[in-house]
Structure 1
């Protein structure tokens, strides 16, 4: 990538990071803070944590489509301003219902889809996969940092200070959009990175993709439900003050990250993604049952917590890869948009449902519920078809070739190693799935634009 593309990638990754960091910092501390508010209930605490997921899921696809019409930057800036407004409302709140309102407003600033589309507008076709990968890695790092930084910020200024910091992070994101990212020469609908309303029906009709949507919904439901009760367990049952919770989170996140990496590599390199996905789901179930049975024992809880995040990190990494494998080559961006919305709906369900269960049956009930719901995902995942391990490619084509699109499509499909083709005349590119082992690269290069 050239220097401009690196700057764009770094800036867009930072926009993702500041937004997600603001959302994740609240997770490890909010349950304890909610207990200090006069109108708090376990259900309201869960609703406050999860409500942003509902509004995020509702607004994400419409804002992505809107950015195709009025431009990426206005939608991203507007979304970050809405996110900042929600942060201010939550920071100034003295009741749970006002915090719920603030969190709902935060979720309305859903800029994920426009940000990905802006990346596709500014990054050359052959480098988009790298940019998307860096942004995806940023989200994972933001989660780990948020879980560690949140308790530290809370120690000095309480939960309102986290919301104020979130507001400042949103404003810094706006500054990046205005001053660090250039305006794209033109705005296009990108089939690999954008949400295309004409393809929503096709993506929703794909049974394998529906199973993946169920999977990410359940994964984030369980994770959110866990953090409704874990901070309380650490403080009230294990005697660990909230300012020291990072001493649990840091080794668990680092250890689980290091232990999950070999599994992720094995899944892709040795084509074992499906059996390892099933194994990771079983690991979630075991971890939840272990936390239900022994959450009052520090060592037992720590080991179960570690096992949970080994499974969680693995699934968080390979599920998007499976979505790309199961989706048609020209519906990948739309499929990922639906997948992401399902993830945020899972956060909402985990907060609201986990809060109700915590109110009725306590922390043990939350863990048992999580184990049962993870078992449902295991049953759903058992019927996933074996994925194909093809590589996505975007090829810039000679514009003269588009005089006969069907002939061009057939000619590309005839290239040895090309397994799937979608021709996009408006972008002057072809989206491909290829078998790298058998691909005739020289034959494919013959289709490339002279300026590519």
Structure 2
């Protein structure tokens, strides 16, 4: 084993594993709560008071959580740095529970809209990620983040299958009551299973740094990705304003609510299987841009099919399969591209801006779907054509992107160093073949390096660490 690699290859200890699993579970429960109503809300909303007069509120209520999530994500993260992670998560989860139960108890679209806004106000996703960073060592932090990411993806897939089943059993108001209960369970996790960190520290690889936001917002390549995730989630929310209605249109019903899981389950399973080879090609053969642009084109094709053939269950099934294959590829590729493109030490801020754009997209998509859909004319195709236009715009933006650098991030613990020593370590790191960028932050006692894994001299990295008095290094994709 090469010097310096022992710590890199070490697995999580018991405390880290418990923290990662429990926080991923908390994150998953929250996202499941937000996604469960997605495939059934439009049908339920037509039964609420006020919808006949203001049908656009259907889409606004569906995506309303995204607005408050986008506005409050960064403030909650900053508050957690000052007052602690668990108290802020407690406040956010109480808001989430309250919003869920306000929506459950409401008979009007106005009450549900308020409930969804309050739900989104519990915007503590960034705080949960920060707590995960507090509780894991640098070399294991990527594993913890990966567990959270996998849980989010599973929550979305499960929600599409469970949502219609639960709605047929307990109603959508029952789903909102259940969502609040999931919030309570997550609080139990927080105070009985999740360890309490001994030390709070700002982690630039996991948290947003306000001083870096301006730089991120000026980076054209990062802005392309921010627009991409905005468009992706705007399209997803807009589609689900009308898709449940398409399946249950009384003029030509395609699939009753209680059987819609039979559509979503095979589609999601096959789409996930189809995604895997594309991700492998993108990473191992360094075809990231080609796969990325191709996936956007795939989304456009899927929505074109929906616009032209939404009265056929077979065509809808094919369109959804194509859509979710592209969607899964992009959901996996976008964070990876953020990591590759963002400068050393800026990843947390880049992800923070990206996440804000994602939630804002959900809100705008709901608003677009609600404003365009006319329940009298049942003009589903109008929404599909609008989403197609959004994907075409994204495709034009993405075609101009540069081929990303195929670099990984090394997080090196350098210990307590002065500014002068930090600059000297940076210089030594940059002199190593394969090291593209290096930035040392004395306040965090770490160095962030961007390296080409196929070129970098690991023994030279280990030698710099020994000189700096460190004990090892960490890697993140």
For residues 204-240 of structure 1, the C-alpha deviation after alignment (integer angstroms, 9 at most, x for no partner) is: 1111111111100001111111111111111123342
Partner residue, 1:110: 123
Q: Which of 52, 66, 76 is residue 53 of structure 1 equivalent to?
A: 66
Of the three residues 184, 187, 192, the one matched with 1:179 is 192
Instruction: Indicate whether 1:15 and 2:26 are aligned.
Output: yes
2:437 alignment partner in structure 1: 420
3-state SS of paired residue (1:193): coil
Deviation sequence 1:332-367 (CA, Å, 0-9, x none): 101101101101111101101111111277101010
Report what 2:408 is aligned to.
Answer: 391
C-alpha offsets along residues 41-71 of structure 1, whole Å, 9 cap, x if unaligned? 4311100100000110000011111111111
Q: What is aligned with 1:30?
A: 41
**Structure 2 residue ranges without an equivalent (≥5):** 1-11, 473-477
Residue of structure 2 equivalent to 1:90: 103
Structure 1 residue 447, shift from structure 2 partner: 3.4
**Offset at 1:446?**
2.5
How does the TM-score come out when normalised to structure 1? 0.98
2:463 and 2:13 map into 1 onto residues whose CA distance is: 24
Corresponding residue for residue 124 of structure 1: 137
Match of 2:386 in 1: 369
8 Å CA contact retained: 1:401, 1:408: no
1:165 and 1:447 map into 2 onto residues whose CA distance is 53
Pairwise CA distance, 1:402: 6.2
Pair 1:313-2:324 in alignment: no
State the alpha-carbon separation in 2 of the partners of residues 60 and 431 from structure 1. Answer: 24
| Native 8 Å contact 1:214 1:342 kept in 2 | yes
For the pair 1:344 / 2:355, whether they are aligned, the reply is: no
Give, in whole Å, the separation in 2 of the partners of 1:400 and 1:55: 40
**How far apart, in 2, do the equivalents of 1:379 and 1:211 lie?**
10
Cα separation, 1, equivalents of 2:121 and 2:101 = 14
The two structures, once aligned, show a CA RMSD in angstroms of 1.3
Q: Distance in 2 between matches of 1:235 and 1:290?
A: 18
Report if the CA contact (8 A) 1:119-1:128 is conserved.
yes
How far does residue 450 in structure 1 lie from its aligned partner after superposition? 4.8
The gaps in structure 1 that reach 5 residues or longer are: none
Q: 2:234 touches 2:361 (CA, 8 Å); kept in 1?
A: yes
Work out which of the residue numbers 172, 175, 180 in structure 2 matches 1:159.
172
Taking structure 2 as the reference length, the TM-score comes to 0.93
- When you count helix as a share of all residues, which structure comes out higher? 1
CA distance in 1, matches of 2:116, 2:325: 29
Pairs within 5 Å for 1:67-86: 67-86=80-99
User: Which residue of the partner structure matches residue 408 of structure 1?
Assistant: 425
Question: What is the rounded CA distance, in whole Å, between the counterparts of 1:450 and 1:203 in structure 2?
Answer: 30
Name 1:39's counterpart in structure 2.
50
Matches within 5 A, 1:91-240: 91-236=104-249, 237-240=252-255
- Deviation (angstroms), 1:287: 0.8
